[in-house]
A = this chain, B = another copy of it.
Amino acid sequence: MKLKEIKGSELDERKFIEEKIKDIQKAAGDGYAITALSGGVDSSVVTLLGYRALGYKLKIYFIDNGLMREGEPARVASIFHKMGINIAIVDAQEVFFRALKGITDPEKKREAITQTFYKNIFADIVRQSGAKCLLQGTILTDIEETVAGVKRQHNVFEQLGINPEKEFGYKIVEPLIQLRKDGVRMVAKELGLPRTIYERMPFPGPALAARVIGEVTPEEIQLVRKATDICEDVLKNTHAFQYLAILHKDRVTGMKDGKRQFGRQIEIRCWESVDAREALPTRLSYEALDLLNRRITREVPEVVSVTYNISSKPPSTIEAI
C-alpha cells in the first residue's frame, strides 16, 4: 500500500469524513465491525466515523489494561454515553500485568502489550462478536517512526509485513493513515467531538507502561499514575503539546522526616511541538517547576527527587520508552 500524506493545510474535513464513512461501509459489508477506544483523539475519531458509517453494527470496546490514567475508563465512557454511544468496558488488568511480568526491555514491553491486546484479548472479543473487521486509529507518524526504527508502535502490523487476517483472524481498516495529529484534530472538531477529546494531548499506546523504566508492576503503575495526575493538573494551563511524568528505576538518596531514604525519582517532560517529529522543552517558570516538585514529593511518599527534561527531540524522543 502506497501512502499519500494529506497535510492539514490541504485537508477538506467534510469530504474526508464522507469518503471514510463510505470506505468503512464497504469494508464491513453486511457484517459487524469492531473498534477499541482508548479515549485518545485518534481512536475517538475512528469510533465516531465507524458509528456514523455502521450505527449499531459497530461494537465499541474500551479495554481496561490497568495501565490507564486515574479515572480514565469511566471518563471516556461518559463522554461517549453523552453522545448516545455505548461503550463496553473490558477489565483485562490481570492479563496485562501477567504478560508484563519480568520484562525490562522497552521493545519487549511494547511487544507484550501488543500481543496481549490482539492475541489474548481482542481476538476473543472479535470472535465472539462475529465481526469481520477492526477499525483502528493508526496515523502517519506511527508508521514513519516504526519504519525508521525509532520505536515499535502498537498498531502497525501491515507495515511490518504481518497479515492481521491470517494471524489474528480479522481485517484492519485504518481510516486516518494519511493524516498527522493536526489533521486528526480538524476531523475530530468537524465530527462534533468535545474539546476535551480533540484538544487532548497525545498519550502513548502502551499507556503508563511507557512511563515506567524497567519492569512494570501494579505498584509502579500506581506511583506513576499519581505523579501523572499531579503533572497534568499543574501543567494543564500551559497549552504545551504534551507533558508527562516518568518513573525511573534508578534510586537516589533523599531525606524524609530526617531519615535517609534511598527513594524514587520522577522525571517531568513538557514539550513544544507541532506534529511530534521535532520538539523542544517548554520554558516552564520556576514557580511551576517548584510546585511540581513539592506536590509530587509530598503526595507520592516514595519519591525523593524530581527532574525536568531539558533535551530537545532529537536527540531525545518525546517518551522515554
Give the CA-CA distance A256 to B283 in the complex, in Å: 24
Contact A151 B260 (CB under 8 A): yes
Q: How far is the CB of A205 from chain B (nearest CB, A)?
A: 14
| Chain B residue at minimal CB-CB distance from A307 | B307
Contact between chains at B151 and A314 (CB < 8 Å): no
- CB distance B250 to A214 under 8 Å? yes
Contact call A254/B307, Cβ cutoff below 8 A: no
Q: What are the residues of chain B within 8 A of A259 when measuring CB–CB?
A: 148-149
- Produce 1/0 per residue, A240-261, CB < 8 A to B: 0000000011111111101111
Q: How far is the CB of A312 from chain B (nearest CB, A)?
A: 7
Write the A280-321 contact mask toward B (1 if CB under 8 angstroms, else 0): 010100100110110001000000111111111111110111
Q: Could you say how many copies of this chain the assembly holds? A: 2
Residues from chain B with a CB closer than 8 A to the CB of A307 are 267, 307-311
Chain A interface helix/strand/loop/mixed: mixed
Question: What residue in chain B is nearest A319 (Cβ atoms)?
Answer: B253
Which residues of chain B have C-beta atoms less than 8 A from A313's C-beta? 255
Q: Mark A112-152, 1 if CB is under 8 A from B, else 0.
A: 00000000000000000000000000000000000011110
Contacts of A79 in B (CB 8 A): none
Q: Any chain B CB within 8 A of the CB of A87?
A: no
Contact A310–B289 (Cβ < 8 Å): yes
Residue of B nearest to A251 (CB): B213
> Cβ of B290 and Cβ of A315 under 8 Å apart?
no
Complex contacts, A306 vs chain B, CB 8 Å:
309-311
A262 proximity list for chain B (CB < 8 A): 106
Whether the Cβ atoms of B321 and A252 lie closer than 8 Å is yes
| A305 touches which of B252, B268, B316 (Cβ 8 Å) | B316
Closest to A287 in B: B283
- Assuming the contacts A293-B311, A308-B308, asked whether A148 and B258 have C-beta atoms less than 8 A apart, the reply is yes
Give chain B residues whose Cβ lies under 8 Å from the Cβ of A289. 281, 310
A227 CB → nearest B CB, Å? 13
A304 touches which of B263, B293, B311 (Cβ 8 Å): B311
Scoring A residues 214 to 247 as 1 if CB is less than 8 Å from chain B, else 0, what string do you get?
1000000000000000000000000000000000
- Name 19 extra pairs, CB < 8 A, besides A255-B313, A297-B315, A305-B320: A106-B262, A148-B258, A149-B260, A150-B255, A250-B250, A252-B316, A252-B320, A253-B317, A253-B321, A255-B314, A263-B315, A281-B289, A286-B310, A304-B311, A305-B315, A306-B309, A306-B310, A307-B310, A308-B310
A-B CB proximity, top 9 nearest: A307-B307, A252-B320, A255-B314, A289-B310, A305-B316, A305-B311, A283-B286, A213-B250, A253-B317
